[in-house]
Structure 1
Amino acid sequence: MTYQTQTGVAIMPVNRREFLKKSVSFGACSVALASGLLKPDPASAEWIAEQFARHKLEETLKTLFKDAKITESDKIDIQIPQIAENGAVVPITVTSRLDGVENISILVEKNPVPLAARFDLSPELELSVSTRLKMAETSDVIVIVQAGNNLYSARQTVKVTIGGCGG
């Protein structure tokens, strides 16, 4: 049963028993939160400064993957615009048909800090990640996927127009 007010807003009547139950529940939660019995889980994101330091692409690859061999793969799909009108916000979606993916790294070759994003994933998941990149100028976007002890890559060139950050 709902009632309509003069302003057109629908309201539901609340009986006394429901009101008391909700008030007691809210009060108990408030006390538990204030006393420290309920604590939010910590965020699991981790910032590794050396990986996101200002380097050339080759130095960043060496920091991330040492001297491991990286193989080109057609099982990595990059969805990114070929022409970016605004280099400050370039959307990218990466999907993969590789099995046992552990992590992916997205690098922008000509950025002062080439590593744009790194995702550590559970191997049981189907790989699909999306983010937005900031690109300083026209450059190759490189995606490196680690599956097991192997590294696979794919790349695509994105042209940043005059209206963006450079070009």
Structure 2
Amino acid sequence: MLTRRNALARSAQVALLLAGLGALPRAALAAYSTAAFEAKTIPELMKALGAGTPVESKDITLTAPDIAENGAVVPVGVSTALPGVKRLLLLVEKNPSVLSAAFDVNEFVEPAFKTRVKMGQTSNVLAVALMADGRVLYAQKEVKVTLGGCGG
């Protein structure tokens, strides 16, 4: 009869075996530029990333609410069907740090992400696509915040 104690002991043995073989996942390490996440404006961010001036595009889709009742948790999303996307960014123009999220994309990753960002006040939210050919494309939307998420 398999008891709870035996099941836990076997699970621990399997985990040790997998760890010894290097088959267990390790902690993920961020590889983004600190200067990018510390940038206060969009031109500073583009300079930190080594990217050019963004150009508005209908091919980038930004999903965000018109009104966010609580700025601490604003659901936003970015997606595109364009080929050759290297990185997708979510920016909040009036936040202390303009870069809220960055997602690396390759041919095995669908360029569509959803997350929640913190917004201190009503601001433009931008979805930016950094392309393999050097183009920088974006879509933007103003999100009105009724209760600030940064202590307001």
TM over 0.5: yes
Which range, TM-score by smaller chain?
Answer: 0.7 to 0.9
Q: Give the one of 33, 41, 47 matched to 1:56.
A: 41
Aligned residues of 2:62 and 2:126 also touching (Cα < 8 A): no
Q: Equivalents in 1 of 2:12, 2:75: separation in Å?
A: 44
Secondary structure in structure 2 of the residue aligned to 1:51: helix
> SS at 1:42's partner residue?
coil
Aligned residue in 1 for 2:99 = 115
| 1:141 aligned to which of 105, 111, 125 | 125
Runs of 4+ displaced beyond 6 Å: none
Which residue identity does 2:123 align to in structure 1? Answer: S
Aligned residue pairs, count: 145
Mark the runs of 5 or more structure 2 residues left unpaired by the alignment. none
Partner of residue 73, structure 1: 57
SS at match of 2:94: coil
Q: Secondary structure at the match of 2:110?
A: coil
Counterpart Cα distance in 2 of 1:100 and 1:146: 9
Q: What is the aligned-residue RMSD (CA, Å)?
A: 2.6
The one-letter amino acid paired with 1:80 is: A
1:106-140, Cα deviation, whole Å (9 max, x unpaired): 11111110000000011343321011010111111
d(CA) in 2 for partners of 1:56 and 1:147? Answer: 21
* TM-score w.r.t. length of structure 1: 0.74
Greater Rg over alpha carbons, structure: 1
1:102 CA drift (Å): 1.4
Match of 1:37 among 20, 28, 35: 20
Tell me the distance in 2 between the aligned counterparts of 1:42 and 1:30.
Answer: 13
Cα offset, 1:71, TM superposition = 2.0
Q: Say whether residues 1:93 and 2:62 are aligned partners.
A: no
Q: Which residue of 2 aligns with 1:131?
A: 115
**1:152 is aligned to 2:131:** no
> Match of 2:43, SS?
helix
Question: Structure 1, unaligned stretches of length 5 or more?
Answer: 1-15
